[in-house]
Amino acid sequence: MPTPEAKPSNAIPTTLASPGALQFWLAVCLIGFTTGLAAIALTRLLEWVQHIVWQGSGTNILDAARSASVWRHVAVLLAAAILVGVGQAVLKRLSSGNGIDTTSAIWFYAGRMPAIRTLGSAVLSIFAVAMGVSMGREGAPKQAGAVFANLFSDTGKLSDEQRRLLVACGAGAGMGAAYGVPLGGALFSLEVMRGKLALRFVLPALLASLIATGVSWLALPNAPTYHIASFPLSASVIVWTIVTAPLFAFAAILYVRFVRWADQGKPAGWQRFIAPGIVLGLLGIVSIQYPELLGNGKDLSQLLFNNQVGLQLLLALLLLKPLATILCMRSGVPGGLFTPSLTFGALLGAAAGHLWSAMWPGVPPGYFALLGAAAVLSATSQGPISTVVLMLELTGRDRSFILPIILIATLSALISRSVEPRSIYDARLSDEQIHARQAMREQESDSIGIPPSLLVPADQTSAPK
């Protein structure tokens, strides 16, 4: 009877007895542990900086900004612009070559990223978000997790395929630890970052995210990010979900394309100092009237879910909040896009809900904001499964909105993906790279006809240090 063919040592170990399993699973555990510690450190840093510059108690930047003086709005944002310009220049000098974002690294550099520049950019983004820049804070722990994944892949002499998976797991673990969402973080690493929900990938992603989140809970609150009511299911909600899904899908397509525009037009040379000053100076001035523009949007989303934003303010923020995020990104400010995308969806959902309630009343307005957040998040990330789980974990709810949220996440992602192949996480990729990545997703073989110009030779896959 023929014996089963042994798996190559560079494959993903599916059992503890697989070749190279000890090094691989030890790396998974270490990635989770160190990423959890990094999430604690980065969160505490954000809270400390925010308290120092805004002189507010607690972690709510909106309350602090509302009570801050006019000069503080402008002074803090201009200081953030100087910090970003100088910080970017210093990081460029410390690290040779260009920075590599996590998605590009996974698909075209065997997961390798420049450690110093990536960690430096993560810390810089924390300072910027704490000072009121309209970007997300989750980018920093994601980058930290990716760097630790590279470190332990090098230490364990792991294969390129294992490194690709571990970098995705590290990024997902950072997401899980930052928001206290272990299952959502694992699914995010697979569905959004790695692009595959293969069974052999599931256990490493789950273990890394679980450990990272568990470690973060030693110092960070083990509580839902958003506190919402238990929303009742009704025919009105289901019909609204089906009718408005195309609206959210095309809004997400437009948002992704603006993200790509912003990423492609980031300043270089001396403009790296001028652009942040102009954009953040304007943001500081406008935030005097609209303090809700400051920060990643978490506090604003909470108000929307609780129906605490008036219609006139809602319509103004629907335009100004995504515009602030896109312009901050265009000026070269580092940061994440998860919470800003969620907030944009909540604003659009609340606006659409006001119109719907005039025709078919009876649904709590916060319900529409929540479903809109899920719809845009699903379409912009092109990860409907991870979005559903993330929304459940972020709110601490299990069944009160499960049916409509699955429906709207699925429909919006399907429509969006049919028109725009990119998500907010791969906006930097060229059209040729998008096609190459799709081929890599669909075929397991290494020989899949990817244009040689897109592949980095094996002896050149190490990213600049």
Helix (H, G, I), strand (E, B) or coil at 362: coil
Predicted local distance difference test score (pLDDT) of residue 56: 67
* Residue 274 near residue 86, CB atoms below 8 Å: no
Question: Amino acid letter at 242?
Answer: I
Q: CB count, 10 Å around CB of 438?
A: 12
Mean pLDDT of 422-440: 81
Q: CB count, 10 Å around CB of 282?
A: 14
- Which domains are seen in the chain, by residue range? 21-224 (1.10.3080.10), 235-419 (1.10.3080.10)
* Residue 183 near residue 203, CB atoms below 8 Å: no
For 288, the token pair is 């005097």
Mean pLDDT of 18-24: 87
325-329, 369-373, 444-448: range with lowest mean pLDDT: 444-448
Question: Amino acid letter at 124?
Answer: L
Predicted local distance difference test score (pLDDT) of residue 6: 41
CA angle 448, 113, 296 (to 5 degrees): 110
Q: What pLDDT band is residue 457 in, cutting at 50, 70 and 90?
A: very low
Residues 6+ apart with CB under 8 A from 306: 227, 228, 229, 366
Predicted local distance difference test score (pLDDT) of residue 59: 66
Full-model pTM: 0.89
Mean pLDDT of 245-250: 97
- Round to whole Å and give the CA distance between 131 and 135: 11
* Residue 185 near residue 172, CB atoms below 8 Å: yes
The helix, strand and coil proportions of the chain, stated in percent and rounded to the nearest 5, come to: 70, 0, 30
Which of 394, 285, 411 shows the shortest CA–CA distance to 343? 394
* Residue 171 near residue 193, CB atoms below 8 Å: yes
For residues 317 and 460, the model is more confident at: 317
For 111, the token pair is 């997961």
For 353, the token pair is 């809900």
The three-state (H, E, C) secondary structure of 169-200, written as one string: HHHHHHHHHHHCCHHHHHHHHHHHHHCCCCHH
For 210, the token pair is 């679980």
Helix or strand holding residue 77 (H, E): helix 70-94
Q: Cα 24 to chain center, whole Å?
A: 26
For residues 358 and 19, the model is more confident at: 358
* Residue 283 near residue 132, CB atoms below 8 Å: yes
Mean pLDDT of 125-147: 94
Matching residue, tokens 């429906």: 407
Q: Is 137 exposed, middle or buried (0-12, 13-18, 19+ CB in 10 A)?
A: buried
- Round to whole Å and give the CA distance between 196 and 190: 6
Helix (H, G, I), strand (E, B) or coil at 336: strand
Residues 6+ apart with CB under 8 A from 88: 124, 272, 332, 334
- pLDDT per residue as tens digits for the range 277-302: 999 999 999 999 999 999 999 999 99
* Residue 84 near residue 276, CB atoms below 8 Å: yes
Residues 6+ apart with CB under 8 A from 459: none
The three-state (H, E, C) secondary structure of 380-420, written as one string: HHCCHHHHHHHHHHHHCCCCCCHHHHHHHHHHHHHHHHHHC
- Round to whole Å and give the CA distance between 46 and 59: 9
Mean pLDDT of 104-133: 90
Predicted local distance difference test score (pLDDT) of residue 67: 87
Residue 336: beta bridge partners? 136
For residues 3 and 432, the model is more confident at: 432
* Residue 150 near residue 124, CB atoms below 8 Å: no
pLDDT at 12 over 90: no
pLDDT at 272 over 50: yes
| Stated length of the chain | 465
Helix or strand holding residue 140 (H, E): helix 139-155
